[in-house]
Structure formats: C-alpha cells, structure tokens
Amino acid sequence: MLKKSLLALAVSSIGVVALPALADTYAIDTKGAHASINFAIKHLGYSVLTGRFDKFDGEFTYDPAKPEASTITVTIDTTSVNSNHAERDKHLRSGDFLNVEKFPTATFVSKSVKVDAGDKDEFDIIGDLTLNGVTKSVTIEVEKVGEGKDPWGGYRAGFSGETEIKLKDFNVKMDLGPASQTVKLQLEVEGVKK
C-alpha cells in the first residue's frame, strides 16, 4: 500500500512539473507614474496638439515564451484628460468631444495577440476600445521594452504601443477639418508582477 501511494505521488508530481507555465499577471504601475496614455492630433493642420489622461489603471498577463497568449485590460478616467490648457480641457470634456458627464470612463479589453514572425518582442494587440459610449475594434502595435527584477524585490515588464483612431468612429461631434480626423494614441506601460 505504501509503495502504491509513493508511486502515485511520484507520478502526480511528474505531471505537475510537466504542466506548461501560466502567464504572469502584472498590475500597471500608475502609482509610481511608470505608465502613460498620451495622444496627439493635428490642430487644423497647422500644428500638433498633444495631451494625456492622468488617471487610469489596469493589468496584463505576459509570458515571454508565449506572448500570443498575453491579455490586457485598461480603464481610463476620461475626466482626467489633460492638454495643458484648462479651457481647452473643459471643451474636450464636453459633449463635442469626450462627453465625460455621460461617459466618465473608457476601456480597452484585448481579444487576441499576433506576434511578429521575426521578433517575439514585437506584436499587435487586437481588442475592443470603448470610448464615448461606442465600442470598436482597434489594433495596437506593441514593442517590448524590457523585463527583470527591480531594486525593491519585485519583477517588472514594460512595453510601448501606439495606434490611431478616427474621431467619427467614436461619435465625436466636433469637426476641425480634414487634417484633424485622426488621433494617435501613444502608450507606455510598465507592470509589476502580482
């Protein structure tokens, strides 16, 4: 009986060791301000207006051996839009643009990841962006910046990403002309392993 129990334990232990490792979960480091969501849009075709969202949070899963299995979810406080100009920010929060009174949050939820054939550190994240009450599929081009231990005993991974969205796709009413139809989103994400 003891031999059978030991044999069963040994077999089950081998089975556990043989299981594939699960992707690690990371909290996006917004508390340490090691992440940002920035935007850029042409103003009437004469200059480029830049800004950011000051408040957001989220998490992602990542396994460097299997980046195609990665996931990410982000929630953005749209009331925190900041273009470094108080009156303009008030307008951006209005019904002409982000309509934050009705839709105070925006979200991104990934659906799939396509890894670059020649480089596992570059991939496209396809997911649903919900903004101004409208949900559309967007593709974010991502490059891994790096990963490793931090000085405080944690483990971090960081990525840069960018995508473009059309304002009309998200029911933005304000039209500043043909040069101002598209917004570039630039994302810097550093996560701390949970």
Q: Which two tokens stand for residue 55?
A: 């408040």
- Domain at 22-193: CATH code: 2.40.128.110
pTM: predicted TM-score of the whole model, two decimal places: 0.86
pLDDT in tens, 28-87: 999 999 999 999 999 988 999 999 999 999 999 999 999 999 999 999 999 999 999 999
Reference 133, options 102, 168, 161, 179; nearest CA is 102
pLDDT exceeds cutoff 90 at 19: no
pLDDT in tens, 152-191: 999 999 999 999 999 999 999 898 888 899 999 999 999 9
What letter would DSSP give residue 46? T
> Helix/strand/coil (H, E, C) string of 98-152?
CCCCCCCEEEEEEEEEEEECCEEEEEEEEEEEEECCEEEEEEEEEEEEEEEECCC
Residues 184, 101: Cα–Cα separation, whole Å: 24
Q: Where are the domains of the chain?
A: 22-193
Burial class (CB in 10 A: 0-12, 13-18, 19+), 73: middle
